[in-house]
Structure 1
Amino acid sequence: MYPLGVLPEPGDADAFGPFALRFQRCAWCASTVFGGRSLCPNCAGEELTWECSQGMGRVHDYLRRPRKGKLPLLVPVIVLDEGFRVTGRLAVGASPPWPGARVRFEYCTDGAVPVFSPYPAPADDGAGHA
């Protein structure tokens, strides 16, 4: 177990830079957790290992964040295929997919906000259709 207030390091995440979406997996119950934890939230297991996500998931829902004088901001909640949830944002130019739609992790911004895009990418309606 880690000392109180000390979280484990995410291993070689620097080797992947902004193109890795890292999570932890409990060795005791196999639950997955996004973000650094020292105990498993499911079983209180102390053996959490870092892994890289494959980056594929589904839009679970949207969180609505009000903004004074502007339209509310919709923040997607993504459930990754590995089983953990993460909030993020959609790639620039991507139209918001409906809940249940497949998305793919693209990269993390400087503030470590995961960016997702629809998957498969929407077809270009103007080219190559008969």
Structure 2
Amino acid sequence: MKNSDSGARAGALEVREEQDPLLHRLMPSPDPAARFFWMSGADGRLRIEQCDACEYLVHPPSGHCPRCGGDRCTPRPVSGRGTIHSYTVNYQQWFVGQPPYIIVIIDLDEQAGLRLTSNLLDCAPDDVFVGMRVSVRFLARHGVWYPVFVPSQAMESDSA
């Protein structure tokens, strides 16, 4: 897989369905305020809501700013790069043959405390660690683009 514009479109690489450890992934509940988030991967860019008044980044989307109290927020593209803040490996099989999968909390680079919960792919459970650098990719399924993460070195080798 190639990524032609790794700076502006860090997450333009699409994850193939067979790479998803959650083959029976449920669709997110319809929420007009979060629709932009689930559709962002269509152009390969992760978007997070930003307060129009103070520029504070807000996730999950809420339409208001917890920092200044502003009530106007606009989706903004972010780099899609970050660091693993915490993780767990799930060994519980929810369907027959499901491999263990990694659930991560990512500290996004743009702002201290800006976190996103997702899955880590292209990494063995024994190789994940707190502080690991990661980059976003997207898994397209039933009209939604799920952001997932891969170790940054995996992203670099794909774009070489």
Q: Structure 1 residues 118 and 65 mapped into 2: Cα distance closer, same or farther (>3 Å)?
A: closer
- In the TM superposition, residue 61 of structure 1 has moved relative to its aligned partner by 0.4
TM-score by length of 2: 0.57
User: Larger radius of gyration, structure 1 or 2?
Assistant: 1
Q: Deviations over 1:32-84 (max 9, x none)?
A: 12343221122221121111111110000014668379998541001111122
* Structure 2 partner of 1:76: 104
| Structure having greater relative contact order (Cα 8 Å, sep ≥ 6) | 2
RMSD of aligned alpha carbons: 3.5
TM-score by length of 1: 0.67
* Structure 1 partner of 2:33: 7
Separation in structure 1 between the aligned mates of residue 32 and residue 128 of structure 2, nearest angstrom: 38
- In the TM superposition, residue 17 of structure 1 has moved relative to its aligned partner by 0.6
Do residues 90 (structure 1) and 116 (structure 2) align? no
Q: Structure 1 residues 39 and 56 mapped into 2: Cα distance closer, same or farther (>3 Å)?
A: same
Higher helix content, 1 or 2: 2
User: Percent sequence identity over matched residues?
Assistant: 26
Which of 17, 28, 41 lines up with 2:42 in the alignment? Answer: 17
Separation in structure 1 between the aligned mates of residue 66 and residue 130 of structure 2, nearest angstrom: 26
> Contact conserved, 2:101 with 2:119, CA < 8 A, in 1?
no
Q: Structure 1 residues 90 and 53 mapped into 2: Cα distance closer, same or farther (>3 Å)?
A: same
* Structure 2 partner of 1:67: 92
Separation in structure 2 between the aligned mates of residue 42 and residue 63 of structure 1, nearest angstrom: 30
Separation in structure 2 between the aligned mates of residue 42 and residue 59 of structure 1, nearest angstrom: 24
Separation in structure 2 between the aligned mates of residue 64 and residue 121 of structure 1, nearest angstrom: 19
* Structure 2 partner of 1:101: 132
Give unpaired runs (5+ residues) of structure 1. 125-130
Residue type of the alignment partner of 2:107: V
> Contact conserved, 2:42 with 2:145, CA < 8 A, in 1?
no
Separation in structure 1 between the aligned mates of residue 45 and residue 92 of structure 2, nearest angstrom: 30
Residue type of the alignment partner of 1:82: E
Give unpaired runs (5+ residues) of structure 2. 1-30
Task: Tell me how many residue pairs correspond in the alignment.
Answer: 117
